[in-house]
Chain A
Amino acid sequence: MSDVQPTVTVDARDLACPGPLTNLIKVYRKAKNGDIIEVLATDVGFKNDVQAWVNRTGNELISLTEEQGIIRALIRVTAKR
């Protein structure tokens, strides 16, 4: 677990694909560089989706963990223009 405090949390538990990524993108639109976005998800595909999204957008994936079926991604926004 990371002790980094999120600026905003996206609770996407129980959402099927593409719900978690869609909600992440909606929050990302309003985020600023330096913000920390926490995403909670239960869709198993989200692990791959969020890694691909971070690689593609150039933001930083601080951590990606799974505990009792809940995937937690912590993303540092670094790529906003």
Chain B
Amino acid sequence: MPKKILVIGGGDGGTILANRLAKKLTKDEAEILVIDKSDLHWYQPGFLFVAVGEASKEDITKPRARLYRRGVKFIQDEVTAIDLDDRKVRLKEGGSETYDYLVIATGSIQDYSDIPGFKEAVYHMWTFEDAQKLHSQLMRFNGGKLVVGVGGLTYKCPVAPLEIAFLADEFLRIRGVREKTEIKYISPLDRPYPPRLLNKIMMENMRERGIEPITYFTVDEIDPVKKEVRSMEGESLKYDLLILTPPHKGADVIINSGIGDDEGWIPVDRYFLNVKGYDDAFAIGDATALPTPKTGVVAHFQAATVSDNIVYEIRGLSKRTMFDGQSFCLIEMGRGVASAQVSNYHYKDAPGLIPSRILHLAKLAMNKIYWTCILGGNI
């Protein structure tokens, strides 16, 4: 009997994992199912480029069903409950699915509820629609106070607020309104970018471009009428355009099924990614409670670990691979350069890479090879 492997979520983690399994296992060894409510797959790093008018919907989406290898069955539906003890998930359209192995790749969702005024006042690029709205605002902006930065914790992609700060600066220069614009970058920490060594480079670049860092500014509330953002530390800033990271939480199904923490992140073993207390259920990507950045690259590496270990187990091998917390972020900085940060569980003060043209080209190349190499489970 083939083992039934159920993957909830067809984002990059779920897709890479399913394709890696299908590449290695025969249909006699495994039946692989991916369930996702949407039939479209989004390349989420592309939202940044949508915000500055350099990418369209066609550049960053593909029909989900076309992305899977032979051997993967895609079901368009929504999982409404997960029962880890009964090895069963319930589907919105009715019925349920059982499994021998479960991989939860349900990602994260935005949750503005803790910050009054956020929904009304803030522009951002964490969805395609929001990125389009931000682009319209940047096109319309004719100078004034631009406040950009970290709006709430936790959020996806730690480097994204810096990237949009740099790209907005460049975009407004090209439009000829930068001299009439004051840009402030807010962060709840004592520095704009958390890794200390690369922060120095980021600070130098911000200074050179006239972006003022405002630290220890934890957004508490926003007054969309007075156009004022206030911090828990007691400061306030006026804005004409406000670009902030939206706070995120785990998917509703995780919270409703009682398998996450109070923000809906799933506790997993940090090396093998099995849901704590279970050896047949795993979580990858944004869905986990691990102290790793919520980015596609982490989901990719975790998908490789979990898929390899499922293959080993099905084949009765004792070999196992471990996830070491590794992340790699290319940081787009405008002006044709990008920087990069590598980190894992062990190197706590890992150096970043200085801004360079080659890293910018790597970022652009990633926009292409994501579809051709990465999602297919080839690397």
Contacts of B189 in A (CB 8 A): 18, 21-22
Query: How many inter-chain contacts with C-beta < 8 Å in the A-B complex?
Result: 51
A26→B343 contact, CB < 8 A: no
Contacts A57-B216, A80-B232, A81-B234 known; A52 to B190 CB distance under 8 Å? yes
B196→A17 contact, CB < 8 A: yes
A16, A29, A57 — most chain B CB neighbours (10 Å): A16
B94 contacts the other chain (Cβ, under 8 Å)?
no
Give B155-195 interface residues, CB cut-off 8 Å to A. 188-190, 194-195
Q: How large is the interface on A (under 10, 10 to 19, 20 to 34, 35 or more residues)?
A: 20 to 34
Contacts of B114 in A (CB 8 A): 29-30
Contacts A16-B343, A17-B194, A56-B233 known; A25 to B291 CB distance under 8 Å? no
Which of A45, A52, A79 is the one whose CB lies under 8 Å from B234? A79
CA of A79 to CA of B234 in the docked complex: distance in angstroms?
9
A19→B291 contact, CB < 8 A: yes
CA of A81 to CA of B232 in the docked complex: distance in angstroms?
8
Contacts A14-B291, A15-B291, A49-B190 known; A28 to B348 CB distance under 8 Å? no
CA of A16 to CA of B325 in the docked complex: distance in angstroms?
11
A25→B348 contact, CB < 8 A: no
CA of A58 to CA of B232 in the docked complex: distance in angstroms?
11
B232→A28 contact, CB < 8 A: yes
B339 contacts the other chain (Cβ, under 8 Å)?
no
CA of A30 to CA of B194 in the docked complex: distance in angstroms?
23
Of all chain B residues, which has the CB nearest A19? B291
A38-81 contact mask (Cβ, 8 Å, vs B): 1 or 0: 00000101000100110011100000000000000000000111
Of all chain B residues, which has the CB nearest A20? B291
B232→A57 contact, CB < 8 A: yes
CB distance from A37 to the nearest CB of B (A): 13
B343→A58 contact, CB < 8 A: no
Of all chain A residues, which has the CB nearest B346? A16
Contacts of A19 in B (CB 8 A): 291
Contacts of A29 in B (CB 8 A): 114, 218, 220, 232
B154 contacts the other chain (Cβ, under 8 Å)?
yes
CB distance from B245 to the nearest CB of A (A): 13
Which of A18, A25, A80, A81 is the one whose CB lies under 8 Å from B194? A18
Q: Which 10 A-B pairs rank lowest in CB-CB distance, beginning with the nearest?
A: A18-B194, A16-B348, A56-B216, A15-B291, A19-B291, A57-B233, A26-B153, A25-B188, A18-B189, A22-B153
Q: Give 10 new A-B contacts, CB below 8 A, not counting A16-B343, A17-B195, A28-B218.
A: A16-B291, A17-B348, A18-B194, A19-B291, A21-B189, A26-B154, A28-B232, A57-B216, A79-B233, A80-B232
Q: Point out residues on B near A: beta carbons under 8 Å.
A: 114, 153-154, 188-190, 194-196, 216, 218, 220, 232-234, 291, 343, 345, 348
